[in-house]
Structure 1
Amino acid sequence: MFLGLDSAGKSTLLHVLKHGRSATLTPTIHPTLEEVNIANVNFRIIDLGDQHSSRLAFQQYFSDLDGIVFLVDSQDRDRFSESKVDLDALLADQRLEGKPLLILGNKNDTSGAVSEEELRSALGLTQTTGKGDVPLTDMRPLEVFMCSAILKQGYEEGMHF
């Protein structure tokens, strides 16, 4: 499931994953289900759109989730606190316990984008599980990767996490 604030790049990333290129998209109003293949692994991805009501309604999908991709616009510092509220709610939800959570700091190719360390700090992520082959024992897989959906950079490593 792709979650994040409006304009974080959820639909753009989904379009890039499905079609291999970016496009000018209109804001997503209704949930979209797409199937994409990344490195010979099939993913069913739900993009819930940008409307606040959709962000609140995503809980109906929890039982079928294998993981969450949470996108943050890494140049929109003014909305980091809002992203943190949504992220904290996901982390606290018992129904998601143990489900992998990938946080993508999108738009890191733009001027004004924060570093990974700055994004971690803004989101209050002091402990993550690590990148690469890290043995996980009684710990939810949780990691931050910086990316640019438009330039097709950084997200693939996160998808393999």
Structure 2
Amino acid sequence: MTESPTLCQLWASMWSDFKANQNLAFTAFDMSGHGRYRDLWEHYYKNCHGIIFVIDSSDRLRLVVVKEELDLMLQHPDICQKKLPILFFANKMDCKEALSSVKIAAALGLDKITDKPWHISASNALSGEGLQEGVEWLTQQIREMLSVKS
């Protein structure tokens, strides 16, 4: 495969360039979730092959803001017209106050996303728990999307 998929990676991240496996490499952009940087996200949507959306599962109060930003992103013309896979990392699952993946999915209304494949992966960025599972899912989704295009 000669094409290197581009991911729009939102909220927080741990990668810039990484290999998912021998045949697929990702270029990811770490897009801060801080309010003053959110307007920059849309500049990356047009050439995006997938989205990684990292959520702090221990911060219940910010879930309202996360939902608002997710809804805005999904309504953007460069996103709503594509069947981009979206990987949600529910980060900080090691914290005792962390919400479960099921509760996060419910709070964000992920069940209403019916036109794009999505997956939520419980994760811990410090230990790496859940990251491989999520990246493997996203890799498979992007492969399927690119094979349909060719």
TM-score, L = length of structure 2: 0.77
Task: State the 1:144 CA deviation.
Answer: 1.2
Determine which structure has the larger strand proportion and give its number: 2
Per the alignment, residue 89 of structure 1 pairs with: 72
Structure 1 residues 115, 51: closer, same or farther in 2, change over 3 A?
Answer: closer
Per the alignment, residue 103 of structure 2 pairs with: 118
SS of alignment partner, residue 108 of structure 1 = coil
**Contact 1:102 1:158 (8 Å CA) reproduced:** yes
Aligned 1:15-30 pairs, distance under 5 A:
none
136, 139, 142: which is aligned to 2:118?
A: 142
Structure 1 residues 89, 128: closer, same or farther in 2, change over 3 A?
Answer: closer
Per the alignment, residue 57 of structure 1 pairs with: 40
Structure 2 residue ranges without an equivalent (≥5): 1-7, 138-150
Q: Distance in 2 between matches of 1:110 and 1:81?
A: 19
Question: What amino acid does structure 2 have at the position aligned with 1:116?
Answer: S
Question: What amino acid does structure 2 have at the position aligned with 1:37?
Answer: K
Per the alignment, residue 146 of structure 2 pairs with: none
1:38 equivalent to 2:20? Answer yes
Q: Distance in 1 between matches of 2:119 and 2:85?
A: 9
SS of alignment partner, residue 36 of structure 1 = strand
TM-score, L = length of structure 1: 0.72
Q: Distance in 2 between matches of 1:44 and 1:114?
A: 30
Task: State the 1:62 CA deviation.
Answer: 1.3
Q: Distance in 2 between matches of 1:128 and 1:109?
A: 27
Which segment is superposed worse, 119-128 or 62-71? Answer: 119-128
Identity across matched positions, percent:
28
**Contact 1:128 1:143 (8 Å CA) reproduced:** no
Which segment is superposed worse, 49-58 or 98-107? Answer: 49-58
Question: What amino acid does structure 2 have at the position aligned with 1:43?
Answer: F
1:155 equivalent to 2:138? Answer no
Q: Distance in 2 between matches of 1:67 and 1:99?
A: 5
**Superposed CA RMSD:** 1.7
